[in-house]
Amino acid sequence: MFRKGSLLRELPILVVVALVVSLFIKSFLVQFFYIPSGSMENTLQINDRVAVNKLPFVSGKINRGDVVVFRDPASWLPAADSSSESTIKTKIKDGLVLVGVLPNPAKQYLVKRVIGIAGDRIVCCTDKKLTINGTAVDEPYIFKGNNPSDITFDITVDPGKIWVMGDHRGASADSRYHQDDINKGQVPLTRVTGRVFGVIWPFGNAKIVPSIPVLK
């Protein structure tokens, strides 16, 4: 049984320990993100909150078929604007960012599926299918009614980078649309935060998000 004075003395220590644990989890294990667009439908829906496993990034094991969150590699997104938010709301957000509940708004993030890894040659399209290293691939996750791509391309992925595309191909400004940037549309692994492994909110959408092999 705790005495009241003892609890009050230990409370600051407990708060510090909780913050340290939270920061450790955020830095090395799990981080949470909000899905603002339909570029990954129907795998992920607008307004979904997803949990991201950071261990694949730490270990360097990012595979074809993984759904990954990454920092904007080369101005793919417009600059964020939070100037209209109240000071109180901003402080609350800052606190949630600190403990890992929200991502840092100054570091804009995207979510896409990994289609190619270093050394892969990806070509669009043969008989309405992408080919990877000369093999036509089936993509069961593509949004119903979409083609694998309406943009033709022939790209070999550079070392240390990945080629990413949204599952809703008709609504995703992904690697295909940024082939003239410094990375030729590819995403450096140093920008990858981790792999999406589940939807945690809203409860009606909660599920595990598996990695679906693109090339078997």
- Look up 207 and say whether it is catalytic: no
Beta bridge partners of 116: 163
- Look up 112 and say whether it is catalytic: yes
Tokens matching residue 68: 């990954």
Among 26, 39, 54, 161, the active-site one is 39
Contact 116, 68 (CB under 8 A): no
Tokens matching residue 25: 């989890």
Among 54, 112, 161, 172, the active-site one is 112
Active site residues: 39, 112
